[in-house]
Amino acid sequence: MKPHAIVTFSESFSRLMRLTHRARAQVGSYQGIDFTGVVVIGQLMRTGPMRASDIAGCTGTDPAIITRQTHVLQELGLVDRVADPSDGRARLLTITSLGEQTFLDHAKIKENFFAKIFAEWSQSDLHKFSELFERLLTDFETQLNASATRSHKSYQHQEK
């Protein structure tokens, strides 16, 4: 039998996923850029120029989706493609100044959204929650990566 806390958390997590889906529709999209586009410009803000395939790997997003989004972002003037100095045949995505401003504007909207959610929380509670939530995300990502590795190995074994 599973511990009650695990069952309760599992149900709450499912609710969080449903709410996250709604929030992505309300807050995740911004000025005609869908959630994935926001993720792309955010990744470029954090890391600087990258290949689209590397963005896909960092964000856990299908490369075809990243490619489609980069075309949209380029048409909107939010990213540019430049030659990769280490491999002239490859292209890097870079964020433009308009892309940077768009990202910063979206970040403010997101921060205001969460500020309203946490308005009644004490700083201490918010700090504890943030630490525990970060721990959850790290462990969640580790488990997903381990599961993907096991699935990949199992698939390879089945092919032989």
48 shares its domain with 104? yes
pLDDT at residue 93 tops 90? yes
Same domain, 116 and 128: no
Selection from 9-23, 33-47, 82-96, 115-129 with the highest mean pLDDT: 115-129
Residues 88 and 69 in one domain: yes
DSSP-based three-state secondary structure for 118: coil
d(CA 26, CA 133): 22
Looking at the fold, whether 77 and 52 belong to one and the same domain comes out as yes
Buried b (16+ CB within 10 A) or exposed e, 16-46: eeeeeeebeeebbebeebbbbbbbbbbbbee
Closest CA to 107 of 58, 39, 160: 39
Say if residue 13 is in the same domain as residue 65: yes
Q: Do residues 42 and 110 both lie within one domain? A: yes
- Domains: count for the chain: 2
Identity of the amino acid at 79: V
pLDDT of residue 24: 78
> Among residues 41, 72, 83, 85, which one has the least CA distance to residue 59?
41
What's the domain range around 49? 4-120
Question: 70 and 141 share a domain?
Answer: no
Domain match, 10 and 86 both:
yes
Q: Are residues 77 and 140 in the same domain?
A: no
Which position has the token pair 């586009």?
Answer: 37
Residues 70 and 149 in one domain: no
Average pLDDT, the chain: 88
**Which one is predicted more confidently, 124 or 34?**
124
Backbone φ and ψ of 76, nearest 5°: -80, -5
Question: Do 71 and 40 fall into the same domain?
Answer: yes
Q: How far apart are CA 99 and CA 76, in angstroms?
A: 9
